[in-house]
């Protein structure tokens, strides 16, 4: 998805209603989203289907990973890295300080 350019990519809702065919073509040819505003506030965004579905899929994957992390379990399709083994410690007999 290409970035948004202000003011080119912002359009008031009443203008969008009158020129909807133009804005559909704009998104299709430019690859940039159009932000529809009402009273100066964004109320909708028109994006190309590939961009929308790509973002939706990414959000779904991230939500699944976040939920799995909260449960403390790996989500399907991910490998859990092996836990590191604790370091071995050497026991020293009491009273022995080594050779003198």
* Paired tokens of 52: 């929308």
Please check whether residue 19 lies inside any domain of the structure.
Answer: yes
Q: What is the CATH number of the domain that holds 18?
A: 3.40.1620.10
Cα-flanking dihedrals φ and ψ of residue 80, to 5°?
Answer: -90, 130
Q: Which residues have C-beta within 8 Å of that of residue 54, sequence separation ≥ 6?
A: 1
Q: By three-state DSSP, how is residue 68 classified? A: helix
Please check whether residue 49 lies inside any domain of the structure.
Answer: yes
Please check whether residue 29 lies inside any domain of the structure.
Answer: yes
Please check whether residue 92 lies inside any domain of the structure.
Answer: no
Please check whether residue 57 lies inside any domain of the structure.
Answer: yes
> 34 - beta bridge partners?
46
Cβ-count burial 35-56 (b if 16+ within 10 Å, e if not)? bbbeeeeeeeebbbeebeeeee
Please check whether residue 5 lies inside any domain of the structure.
Answer: no
Q: Give the pLDDT of residue 92.
A: 65
Q: Give the pLDDT of residue 65.
A: 76
Task: Tell me the pLDDT of the chain (100 aa) as tens digits.
Answer: 556 555 568 999 999 999 999 999 999 998 889 999 999 899 999 988 888 777 767 767 777 777 777 777 655 555 655 666 666 767 666 665 555 5
Q: What is the pLDDT of residues 37-66, one digit of tens each?
A: 999 899 999 988 888 777 767 767 777 777
Q: What is the total count of domains within the chain? A: 1
Domain with 35 in it: 10-71
């Amino acid at each position: 998805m290409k970035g948004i350019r202000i003011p080119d990519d912002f359009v008031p809702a009443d203008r969008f209603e009158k020129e909807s065919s133009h804005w559909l073509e704009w998104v299709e040819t430019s690859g940039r989203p159009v932000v529809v505003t009402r009273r100066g506030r964004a109320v909708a965004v028109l994006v190309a289907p590939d961009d929308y579905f790509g973002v939706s899929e990414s959000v779904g994957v991230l939500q699944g990973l976040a939920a799995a992390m909260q449960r403390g379990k790996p989500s399907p399709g991910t490998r859990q890295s092996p836990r590191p083994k604790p370091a071995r410690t050497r026991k020293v007999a009491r009273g022995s300080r080594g050779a003198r």
